Amino acid sequence: MIAAATGRGLREALDPPRRQGRRIGLVPTMGYLHEGHLSLVDLARKEADLVAVSIFVNPLQFGPGEDLARYPRDLDRDLSLLRERGADLVFHPGVQEMYPHGFPEVTVDPGALGQRLCGRFRLGHFRGVLTVVARLFGLFRPHMAVFGRKDYQQGALIRRMVGDLEMGVDVRLGPVVREGDGLAMSSRNVFLSPEERSQALGLHRSLSRVQASFREGERWLHRLQELLARELEEYPLLKLQYGEIVDAESLEPVDPVRPGAVVAVAAHCGGTRLIDNLVLEG
């Protein structure tokens, strides 16, 4: 496995396989990897000749008072996990390398899609996400890129950006990977106390109750959202930021609710912000 920390090193690693016509798959991450990230490496491996992973904690997507300085980092551990998983190339630049001229003046505007759900509470977050992903696409020029479906809005926005700007990257979304008890895997889970972690299970359990009601025939938006809110009230350490049922593409509320709609939630558990989602099936 090749590890590169500079753009020059990345180009030197990618030029030979690109000349050979090999299909390059990219898995962008912020590091502190878990099985959810590693499952994306597996997904990329199925369709790419060379699997590349980026590790970069992007300051552009953190707002004032968010956990940029606190975000967990362990590069040696990440490199070991990726080596064991069979990644071919890892790019782990510092901020100076990623933004050599300071934070970019030209950024990617997420538009109305970025103002819904998480975008209402994390101003500027998705502008930062799309800008760094666009830069990574420029650096790697991948044929395909794989992202996790846990960040559902992020995936929808990246797909929209790639389509609207004709970037020519095949974007795939891997499924939400969960712990054995249902908690969605997240690098931030490390911050949860035992009691908070127990309460955090309320996110998936509440989503599952909505899924069960939908399968039993409930289609009215207000009833399903009331059920979601009631279920979440059973977990007092979860401070709900939003709980919505939206169209999978537009992220706008749908009423009546149809199969394929997404139930998306965000909540603070102690000092940790958690997100989760579930695609409704009839």
Give the CATH number of the domain where residue 202 resides. Answer: 3.30.1300.10
Q: Which of 37, 92, 125, 143 is catalytic?
A: 37
Residue 53 to residue 61: CA distance in whole angstroms: 19
DSSP summary character for residue 80: H
Residues 57 and 154 in one domain: yes
Q: What pLDDT, on a 0 to 100 scale, did the predictor assign at position 62?
A: 95
How many domains is the chain partitioned into structurally? 2
73 backbone φψ class: left, alpha, beta (φ>0; ψ -120 to 50):
beta
On whether both 210 and 165 belong to a single domain, the answer is: no
Residue 159 and residue 251 share a domain: no
Determine, yes or no, domain membership for 20: yes
Alpha-carbon distance of 222 to 125, in angstroms, equals: 29
DSSP for residue 113: G
Structural contact between residues 119 and 151, judged by C-beta atoms closer than 8 angstroms: no
Task: Count other Cβ atoms within 10 Å, centred on residue 179.
Answer: 17
My answer on whether 208 and 89 are in the same domain is no
201 and 253: one domain?
yes
Q: What is the pLDDT of residue 65?
A: 85
Residue 217 lies in a domain: yes
Q: What is the pLDDT of residues 147-205, one digit of tens each?
A: 999 999 999 999 999 999 999 999 999 999 999 999 999 999 999 999 999 999 999 99
Considering the domain boundaries, does residue 282 fall inside one?
Answer: no
| Residue-level pLDDT at 122 | 96
Let me know if 92 is a catalytic residue: no
Q: State the pLDDT at residue 184.
A: 97
What CATH code is carried by the domain that includes residue 12?
Answer: 3.40.50.620
Host H or E run for residue 241: strand 238-246
User: Domain of 253?
Assistant: 187-276
Tokens standing for 12?
Answer: 């030197």
Residue carrying the six token digits 């908070």: 196
- Kindly state whether residues 87 and 207 are assigned to the same domain: no
What pTM did the predictor assign? Answer: 0.95
Contact 59, 22 (CB under 8 A): no
pLDDT at 15: 96
The residues of the chain scoring below 70 in pLDDT are none
